[in-house]
Amino acid sequence: MNSKLTVAIIAAVLLALPFLGIGPYPLHLVIIILIWSFAYTGWSIMGRFGLVSLGHGAFMSVGGYVTALLWNEIGLSPLIGIPISLACAAGLAVLIGYPCFRFRIIGHYFALVTLALSEVVRQVIIATRDTTGGSLGYTPERFGDGWSITAFQTDDRMIFYFVALVVWMGGIVIWRLVDQSMARYALEAIWEDEEASASVGVQVTKEKLKVTVLSAVMTAFAGAMYCQYQMFISPDTVGGVGVSLQIVFAVVVGGIYNLLGPTIGAVITILLAEVLRISIGTESICITDKICLNAAGVPLLIYGIMLIVFIIFLPKGIVGGCIDWWRAQSRKEAEQN
């Protein structure tokens, strides 16, 4: 099929979606999926080169909290606040990334250093509970009813849908730009062998740092978007080890090495959680008076099994696996002809 036509059809469906008369709840789900997809795409920009970070919860918290704090405390519009929060995330990424890459901390050591980063940010938020509300969470103040550009707030889901859609498309474009750039070849070479690529003139530290900062900024922007949409953030919904792992896993399930992998991962994981929540509820189901089963844990349970199965049998994720299968099929057909 003509790929341009496919893209046009998908774009048309996405643009027309809110006018197709879908209810507020499905629209809410689509917005949430778009925001998380953007964060996941941001993570996979570095994750696909073997730079597995377990610290993206930290960047997401910085994006959400800095924007919301500036708005509440000094009344600074998110239009200025978001760029400031992105700059903070970029600074944090350099602060942690530069020494890591300079001293050749790679593989699971890199994962554990970034894991410590997400704990540091979470503990700082909890420790400064007098300002940030700690574990109880934080709410940006409403400016009033309706929508406002300066407050970057709206009570109309439709408007936010288009904002999220544009942001998500931006993420896809950035992913593609990185995919087609020289940096991609440099980073793949670094992934294969750092010493060898350095010896042929690849600037290892610089290349890695560039992609890390880009990834951190995208994730922080997703954090700010999430905060402006939900009007509530807490250290455990946008940060900490839990969210950091959730980001990695959704991408692994969808497919790290493909353009739409992170988005598919978001669709699957979020829909799975919602479908299970609605179909089996969160109530306790008592078998006998002693043994009660709490249905709220089921999504987590299935999620865990899915991840193990994927990593063992389908490490390229759903999208990657499908593409491999499709290629094998078409090769078979070509041989038969």
Partner 1 sequence: MAEFTEALFSIFFIETLINGLLLGGVLALLSLGLNLVFGVIDVVWICYAEIIMLGMYTIYFLYVDGGMPIYVAAAGGVGVTAVLGWLTHRLVIGYLLDAAPINQLLATGGLLFFFQGAAMVAFGIEFRNLGVSLGSLALSEDIYLSWTRLLSFAIAGGVVVLLFQFLSRSYLGAAIRAISQDREIMTLMGVNTTKLYLLTSAIGGALAGLAAALLALQYDVHPFIGLSFGPITFIVCVMGGLGNMVGGFLAAFVFSELITIGGYFAALEWGYVLAFGFFIAAMFIRPEGLFARKS
Residue 308, class by beta-carbon neighbours within 10 Å (0-12 exposed, 13-18 middle, 19+ buried)?
A: exposed
Q: Which residues are within 8 A (CB) of 40 and not within 5 positions of it... i.e. 6 or more apart?
A: 247, 250, 251, 254, 262, 263, 265, 266
d(CA 98, CA 211): 12
How far apart are the C-alpha atoms of 309 and 165, rounded to whole Å?
31
Task: Give the closest residue to 207 by CA, choosing from 85, 62, 45, 60.
Answer: 45
Residue 142's Cβ-count burial label (10 Å; 0-12, 13-18, 19+) is: exposed
- Alpha carbon distance 218, 179 (integer Å): 16
Work out the burial of residue 28: count CB atoms within 10 Å of its CB; fewer than 13 is exposed, 13-18 middle, 19 or more buried. middle
Taking each helix axis from N to C end, the angle separating 182-192 and 157-180, rounded to the nearest 10 degrees, works out to 70
Residues 118 and 219: beta-carbon distance below 8 Å: no
Query: Tokens in use for 287?
Result: 């078998």
What does the alpha-carbon distance between residue 57 and residue 235 come to, in Å, rounded to a whole number? 9
**Euclidean distance between the first and the last CA atom of the chain, given in angstroms as a whole number:** 20
- Looking only at the bridges linking them, the beta strands covering 147-148 and 153-154 are antiparallel
- Cβ neighbours of residue 246 closer than 8 Å, sequence gap 6 or more: 269
Chain residues that interact with partner 1, rule: CB under 8 A: 50, 52, 96, 99-100, 102-105, 107-109, 111-113, 115-117, 119-120, 123-124, 126-127, 240-242, 245, 248-249, 252, 284, 292-308, 311-312, 315
Q: Are 236 and 74 in contact (CB under 8 A)?
A: no
Cβ-defined contacts of 295-299 (< 8 Å, 24+):
299/272, 299/273
| Alpha-carbon span 181 to 193, nearest angstrom | 19
